[in-house]
């Protein structure tokens, strides 16, 4: 998932990932139940909750209100090196709705783009699903299906209301890295296939070596290291475009990268992870009217249901993953996924290894996904367990053009695969989106997971 997040705290707080635990605000995880389903017994409610990603939280000197990180800079007296910083700095509990715009009501969760408090202005959020106060809920999705309801009607161009899984550690890295005293309870241990270098702490240490402030985001920067792992983007969308995308990595679980292994620039195809992934975006795949407000398939002006199925070669969780299939439902009507309408490709309506090969051929890309193991490799990662993330974000790096507009910008828009959505290339500038649509929000609800055919 491509993400650079911003939290502007005008007085006491700053957008940082810390490893010690503070004492000024008690951490209370909002209850957010899901359902586990079987074909024989139906669906049963599971008592789960959510936790805010640590990258949003206030990081301060232990037993003191002094910030360890302000704007986009580390305090050199508190953070002279990675390990001392981890020892000196504490991570606080969160006011989910009042500060971060995350509201839970029963089995429904909403995230608002801009939340203005007495002392702070927050932009976007990312939360994870917990099984208990100290452990993430681990999903093993191979041979199963995942269903949720979503309302994207208030998400314009340039925003991404995302629901996805990554191969994070169940305890947030707490047992593996002793300097991490916060763990899953405080939302630590994030990783994804973009190998983000804007994470302030990785492997229990401050990511402050070679730290550079972002030129266009006053509350972010990048350090020497990134944090990588396999990612299954079940849902990345606004009201204009949507995609689901598996991203495979060569490493097992959360792994720190450095230099070439982070896969940036000319090293994009030499890193641990396939950053492009094997995506299925109906608009990009030639069906431009399927997903839109008043669309011929899915009408994004109204809520709808999304089901994703991970199908194996023997129909069981013990088999090899061979297909990732998408089905929608709206107003009581089941809506099959759109079919590909691209010259040189068969009329696929799901993600298979053959689909991935033909997509990269038609779009003149390199098939890094298949070289890292394809769907079989993704299935092996899913067997090890994934953590669920739900987020809303805007994009300082590429303005979300890769989702809903023409991208990349250095090639003609008429080239196959470049046109990904109907939004103009001038849209998605974070400062403009935040000013013009501060109340933009996404609503996820009624999450169910279980045997194929049991959740819809």
Q: How far apart are CA 174 and CA 94, in angstroms?
A: 19
Distances (CA, A) of 127 to 13, 64, 142, 389: 18, 26, 23, 6
CB 85 within 8 A of CB 16: no
Q: In sequence order, which residues have a C-beta less than 8 Å from that of residue 25 and are 6 or more positions away? A: 92, 93, 94, 95
Q: How far apart are CA 270 and CA 263, in angstroms?
A: 6
Q: How far apart are CA 17 and CA 295, in angstroms?
A: 40
CA nearest neighbour of 75 among 116, 125, 137, 16: 16
Q: How far apart are CA 84 and CA 86, in angstroms?
A: 5
∠ Cα 250 252 258 (to 5°): 65
231 part of the active site: yes
Could you identify the residue written with the tokens 């849902």? 235
Q: How far apart are CA 311 and CA 359, in angstroms?
A: 20
Cα 297 from chain centroid? 25
Distances (CA, A) of 68 to 79, 90, 93, 234: 7, 9, 16, 35
Q: Where are the strands (E) in 28-124, listed by range?
A: 34-38, 42-46, 49-52, 59-61, 69-70, 73-74, 89-91, 102-105, 108-112, 114-116, 120-123
Q: How far apart are CA 112 and CA 55, in angstroms?
A: 17
Q: Which of 145, 231, 359, 434 is catalytic?
A: 231
If 0-12 CB within 10 Å is exposed, 13-18 middle and 19+ buried, where does residue 315 land?
exposed
CA nearest neighbour of 119 among 93, 98, 101, 104: 98
CB 242 within 8 A of CB 235: yes
Peptide bond into 408 cis (omega under 30): yes
**Which residues is 139 bridged to in the sheet?**
386
Could you identify the residue written with the tokens 């079987």? 38
118 part of the active site: no
Distances (CA, A) of 119 to 70, 122, 367: 14, 10, 48
Q: In sequence order, which residues have a C-beta less than 8 Å from that of residue 280 and are 6 or more positions away? A: 243, 244, 245, 326, 337, 350, 351, 355
Q: Which one-letter DSSP state was computed for residue 365?
A: -
Q: Which of 27, 92, 236, 370 is catalytic?
A: 236
- The residues carrying an active-site annotation are 231, 236
């Amino acid at each position: 998932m491509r993400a650079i997040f911003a939290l502007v705290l005008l007085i006491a707080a700053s957008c940082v990932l810390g490893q010690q635990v503070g004492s000024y605000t008690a951490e209370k995880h909002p209850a957010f139940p899901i359902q586990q389903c079987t074909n024989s017994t139906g669906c049963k409610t599971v008592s789960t909750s959510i936790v805010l990603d640590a990258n949003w939280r206030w990081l301060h000197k232990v037993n003191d209100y002094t910030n360890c990180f302000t704007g986009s800079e580390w305090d050199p007296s508190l953070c002279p090196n990675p390990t001392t910083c981890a020892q000196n700095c504490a991570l606080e509990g969160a006011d989910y709705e009042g500060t971060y715009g995350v509201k839970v009501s029963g089995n429904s969760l909403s995230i608002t783009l801009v939340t203005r408090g007495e002392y702070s202005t927050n932009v976007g959020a990312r939360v994870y699903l917990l099984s208990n106060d100290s452990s993430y809920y681990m999903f093993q999705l191979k041979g199963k299906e995942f269903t949720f309801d979503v309302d994207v009607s208030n998400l314009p161009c340039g925003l991404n209301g995302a629901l996805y899984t990554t191969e994070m550690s169940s305890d947030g890295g707490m047992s593996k890295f002793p300097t991490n005293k916060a763990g899953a309870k405080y939302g630590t241990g994030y990783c994804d296939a973009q190998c983000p270098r804007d994470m302030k702490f990785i492997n229990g240490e401050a990511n402050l070596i070679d730290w550079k402030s972002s030129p266009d985001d006053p509350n972010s920067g990048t350090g020497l290291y990134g944090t990588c792992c396999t990612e299954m983007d079940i849902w990345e969308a606004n009201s204009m475009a949507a995609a689901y995308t598996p991203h495979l990595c060569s490493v097992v679980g959360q792994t720190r990268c450095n230099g070439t292994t982070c896969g940036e620039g000319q090293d994009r195809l030499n890193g641990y992870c396939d950053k492009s992934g094997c995506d299925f975006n109906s608009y990009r795949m030639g069906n431009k009217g399927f997903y839109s407000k008043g669309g011929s398939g899915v009408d994004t002006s109204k809520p709808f249901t999304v089901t994703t199925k991970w199908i194996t070669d023997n129909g069981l969780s013990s088999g090899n993953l061979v297909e990732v299939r998408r089905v929608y439902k709206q107003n009581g009507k089941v809506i099959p996924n759109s079919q590909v309408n691209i010259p040189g490709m068969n009329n696929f309506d799901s993600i298979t290894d053959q689909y991935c090969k033909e997509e990269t051929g038609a779009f003149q890309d390199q098939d890094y996904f298949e070289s890292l193991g394809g769907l079989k490799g993704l299935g092996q990662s899913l067997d090890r367990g994934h953590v669920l993330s739900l987020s809303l974000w805007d994009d300082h790096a590429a303005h979300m053009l890769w989702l809903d507009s023409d991208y990349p910008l250095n090639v003609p828009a008429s080239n196959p695969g470049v046109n990904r959505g109907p939004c103009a290339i001038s849209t998605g500038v974070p400062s403009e989106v935040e000013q013009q649509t501060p109340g933009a929000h996404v609503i996820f609800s009624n999450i169910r997971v279980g045997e194929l055919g049991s959740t819809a």
